[in-house]
Structure 1
Amino acid sequence: MRIVPIIAALCTAASTAAASPEFWVHEWPKTNFENTSVESWVEILSGGPSKDGIPALDAPQFIAVADAAVLEPREPVITLEIEGQVPHAYPIRYLTWHEIVNDVVGGIPVAVTFCPLCNSGITFDRRTDAGVLSFGVSGKLRNSDMIMYDRQTESWWQQAVGEAIVGDLTGTALQTLPSWMESWEAFRTRNPDGLVMDQPDFRRNYGANPYVRYDSSHRPFLYSGEMPPHDIPALARVVRVGDRAWPLTRLAEQGRITEAGVNLTWTAGQASALDTAQLAQGRDVGNVRVRDASGADLAHDVMFAFAFHAFWPDGEWMLAD
C-alpha cells in the first residue's frame, strides 16, 4: 500500500465538509438528529472517509510480549493496566489505521481510542445505563477531533471528551479509565509477561505514518477555532488532567511536577507517531506518567494544545511561574 500523506489525500474529499442532517440522514437513518448538544451543525465536518471507512477493531487477538518481534523499541503503545489483570499494550502502529479498539479486559468492556489529528489517546469503559456499547468511526470531525458512533443507537460521540453529542444518548458520558501512551520498550521492560495486540487482519501499511510531519504544522487539519493562549503553538503537546493542561515542554524540562494534587513525570524514549514516515523513527517526545498523591494512576490525555482549548475553553493552563 502506497503511503499518501493524509492531509493531501483528504483535502479534496473534505472540501465539501460543512453539512447538516439533511445530507447525513441517508447514511445515518438510525441517528436521532433532533437530539443534540451541538450549537451549530457547521461545527461538524467530514474528514474524508465515510462511515466505517476507517474500520474499528473488535475482539482483537493478543500475543506474548516475547513474541512481538515486529515492534521497535521507541514506537508508542497505549498501555492499559487493570488491577489483577495481565497488562495490555495496544500499538499505535495499528490504532493509527483503526482509531478504535473494542475489547474486554478483566470482564470490563473497553474502547481504546486514538485520534491522530489531536494526538488524543483515551480508554473508555463501554458500559452505560443504556447497556454495553460498541463503537465505530463516523468519518466526521469536530474541532479536528474524531467523532465516534455507537452501533446500538448510532449516536455520535466526541472522542476527546467521551460524551455523546448527537442522537438518543446525547449528554451521556463514558467513564475514562487510566491508560497512557509510552514506548514499546518501556512497556515490555516493566511487563515482560504482558500481552500486546497482534497485527490486525487488514491490508494496511502498519508501521508507516500517513500523517508525515503533522505535529510540526502551524495549523490543525479542518480546524477554524481559536488558537491556544499564551503563545502556545497549536500542535504543541499538553498533558490534560481533567480541565487542567500542563505544557509537555515544561514537564520535559523539569522531569517531574507536583501540582494540584497531581504528580507528573517525564522520561525520554518514545517516538512521535506524527513525525517521520516510519512511525518508530519519529523524534523523541518522551514518556509521561500521571499519578495522584497515593501513587495511583490517573486518567489523562497527552493531546495537542488547540484541542484542549477547543473543548476546555475555560480550562486552566499550568504554566511555569
Structure 2
Amino acid sequence: MKRGMVLAVGAVLTAASLAVAAAAEGRPPAFWTSEWPDTDFTVSSVGSWVEIISGGPPKDGIPSIEDPVFRPVSEETELAPREPVITLEIEGETPRAYPIRYLTWHEIVNDEVGGIPVAVTFCPLCNSGITFDRRTEAGMLEFGVSGKLRHSDMIMYDRQTESWWQQAVGEAIVGDLTGMRLDTLPSWMESWALFAERNPEGLVMARPTGFARDYGANPYVRYDSADRPFLYNGEMPPHGIGPLERVVRVGDRAWPMARLAEEGRIEEAGVVLSWQAGQASALDTREITEGRDVGNVRVRDAAGADLPHDVMFAFAYHAFWPDGAWMLGD
C-alpha cells in the first residue's frame, strides 16, 4: 500500500459513508456543495453519487502546474535513462517531455505548445497518461485536481466553471459543462533515453519550484503488482486479465500489454502497435528509476501517424468501457 494511503483511509471511509447516505436520497453530500459552491450539482451524467469518493487530498491538495519551465535535453541531469516521460510532439514545434517523476505529484500540467493550450495529465491509480486540448466550445479552460475519484480515476475540474471532468475519458460529468468532451492529442509514455535520443534538440520540463515533494520517489510502492486497485469497488476485467495489468487503449479497443510485449508488433483494426523494452514502471519500487521494465509503446495508423491512446490498467478500461472490445488475438 502506498505511503500515506493508510493515513487517508479513515477520512476516505468517513467521506464515503456520508456520500452513500446522501446518494440514497438522490443528492450529493452537503459538504460537497459547501466545498464547491460554484459547481452546479443539479446537472450530472453520473449514475449514482456514490460512484464518486474522496481520494484523500482536498481540492487542489494535489497542485497542478501552470506555466511550466523547460530546459534543453542537453542540460537535463536528474533523469535516469529508463525513467518514464510523457512525450508531446506537435508538428512544427520543439518536442517536449513531461517527466512522470513530477506528474506523479502534480497530475496535471497546464501548458501551451505552438499556440495550442494543452493539459498533460497522469492518474497514478489508473496509470492513465493523456494529453488534452484545452480549447472547448465554452472557451479555453484551465484544469486542477479535484481530490475526488470515480472508479479510482482522477476527477479534474476546470477553473472557469468548476465543472468536474473524468480524466480517463476527457468528459465533463458534473456541472455546467456536463457532456462536453475534450479533444485528445497524440502523446505517449516512453523512457527518457528514447526521447532524448530521438530529440537531442528537444525540451524537458524542469523540476517544479516552490513545492515540498519527494520528486523521483514513487508514493504508490508495488501498486501495480497489488491484488486489487486502491479505492475501487467495481467489476474486475474479464478473460482472466488481472485488474492491474496494463492494456493499450485506442478508442474503445484494448490490447493487453502482455500480448503486445510477446509479439513486439501488432497490426489490427487499422492500428499499428509496437513494443520496445527499456521503460521503468513508475508504480513499482520506491525509486522510479529502479522500477521493473514495462516497455515502451507506440501507436500509429497505417500511414505512420501517431494516434491518441492510453496505456492504462485493465480494471479502469473495463470500468469506463464495459462494452469495449478486448483485442486478445487468436
The whole-number CA distance in structure 1 between the counterparts of 2:2 and 2:181 is 35
Q: CA deviation at 1:4?
A: 6.3
Match among 24, 43, 52 for residue 35 of structure 1: 43
Distance in 2 of aligned mates of 1:217 and 1:17: 24
> Is residue 214 of structure 2 the alignment partner of residue 210 of structure 1?
no
Whole-angstrom distance in 2 between the partners of 1:34 and 1:185: 48
- Is residue 58 of structure 2 the alignment partner of residue 50 of structure 1? yes
Q: CA RMSD in A?
A: 1.0
Identity %: 74
C-alpha distance in 1, partners of 2:242/2:37? 40
Aligned position for 2:261: 252
1:111 aligned partner, one-letter code: A
Of 168, 173, 186, 1:165 maps to 173
Match among 80, 83, 99 for residue 75 of structure 1 = 83
Rounded to whole Å, the distance in 1 between the matches of 2:297 and 2:276 is 7
Helix, strand or coil for the counterpart of 2:34?
coil
How far did 1:21 drift?
3.8
Corresponding residue number in structure 2 for 1:5: 3
Give the structure 1 partner of residue 293 of structure 2: 284
How many angstroms apart in 2 are the aligned matches of 1:230 and 1:144?
21
SS of the equivalent of 1:26 reads helix
Q: Number of residues paired by the alignment?
A: 319
Ranges in structure 2 where 5+ consecutive residues have no aligned partner:
20-27
1:269 partnered with 2:278? yes
Q: Which of 1, 12, 21 is matched with 1:14 structurally?
A: 12
Q: Which residue does 2:23 correspond to in 1?
A: none
Tell me how far apart the structure 2 counterparts of residues 304 and 169 of structure 1 sit (CA, whole Å). 27
- Structure-2 residue corresponding to 1:184: 192
Q: Report the counterpart of residue 118 of structure 2 in structure 1.
A: 110
> 3-state SS of the aligned residue for 2:35?
coil
User: What is the CA–CA distance in structure 2 between the aligned matches of 1:111 and 1:287, rounded to whole Å?
Assistant: 22
Deviations 1:124-171 (A, max 9, x none): 000001000000000000000000000000000000000000000000
Q: Distance in 2 between matches of 1:11 and 1:302?
A: 27
Matched with 1:302 is 311
The answer (yes or no) to whether the contact 2:280–2:291 under 8 Å persists in 1 is: yes
Please report how far the alpha carbon of residue 9 of structure 1 lies from its aligned counterpart in structure 2 after TM superposition.
3.5
Deviates further, 9-18 or 32-41: 9-18
Q: Indicate whether 1:94 and 2:92 are aligned.
A: no
User: Any conservation in 1 of the 2:2–2:223 contact (CA below 8 Å)?
Assistant: no
Structure 1, 221-230 or 11-20: larger mean CA deviation = 11-20
